[in-house]
Chains A and B, each alone.
Chain A
Amino acid sequence: MIPNWMNQADVQPCHCSTVRHGKKGFVGKTIDGILGFLDEAFLSETFSRRPGLLQSLDPRAKLVSILALIFATSLIGDLRVLVFIYALTLLLSYKSKIDIGFFVKRVWLFIPIFAGIIALPMVFNIFLPGDPLYIVAYLGAGAHLGPFSLPDNIFITRQGTMAAIIFTVRVAACVSAVVLLFLTTPQQILFKSLRTVGVPKIYVLTLQMAYRYIFLLMDMVREMYVAKKARTIRSRGIMDDQKWVGGRIGYTLVRSLSMSEKVHMAMMSRGFSGEVHIMQEFKMTNRDYLYGALAISISLVLVMISQNIIRV
Chain B
Amino acid sequence: MHIPDGYLGPYTYIALWIIMIPIWYYAGNKLGRELKSRQVPLLALAAAFSFVIMMFNVPIPGGSTGHAVGAAIIGIVLGPWAGVIAISVALVLQALMFGDGGITAIAANCFNMAVIMPFSGYYIYKFISGSAPLASSRRIIAAAVAGYVSLALAATSTGIMFGIQPLLHKSAEGVPLYMPYSLNITVPAMLLEHIFGFSILEAVITALIFVYIQKTDSSLLYGEKEMAIERKRKKGTTA
Contacts and interface: CB of A to CB of B under 8 A. Distances in A.
Contact of B28 (A34, A200, A217, A259): A200
Chain B residues touching A, majority SS: helix
A30 B56 contact: yes
Chain B CB within 10 A, most for which of A26, A118, A159, A259 = A26
Interface in A180-218: 181-182, 187, 190, 200, 202-203, 205-207, 209-211, 213-214, 216-218
B48 interface: yes
A184 B122 CA distance: 40
Nearest to A130: B175
Interface stretch (A8-16, A93-101, A248-256): A248-256
Interface string B24-65: 000010001000111111111111110111011111110001
A247 B102 CA distance: 32
Interface string A48-91: 00000000000000000001001101110100000000000000
A260 B44 contact: yes
Chain B CB within 10 A, most for which of A122, A179, A256, A272 = A256
B41 A264 contact: yes
A246 B207 contact: yes
Contacts of A33: 55, 57
Interface residues of B, number: 75
Contacts, number: 253
Contacts of B220: 253-254, 257
A267 B39 CA distance: 12
Contact of A30 (B36, B44, B57, B171): B57
- The contact size tier of chain A is 35 or more
Given A27-B57, A210-B44, 18 more contacts: A70-B103, A74-B9, A118-B181, A127-B181, A128-B176, A162-B175, A163-B177, A178-B103, A182-B98, A202-B39, A206-B85, A211-B48, A221-B56, A242-B205, A249-B68, A253-B49, A253-B220, A260-B46
Interface of A: 25-27, 29-30, 33-34, 37, 40-41, 44, 67, 70-71, 73-75, 77, 106, 110-112, 114-115, 118, 122, 127-128, 130, 159-160, 162-163, 166-167, 170-171, 173-175, 178-179, 181-182, 187, 190, 200, 202-203, 205-207, 209-211, 213-214, 216-218, 221, 238, 241-243, 245-254, 256-257, 259-261, 263-264, 267-268, 272-274, 276
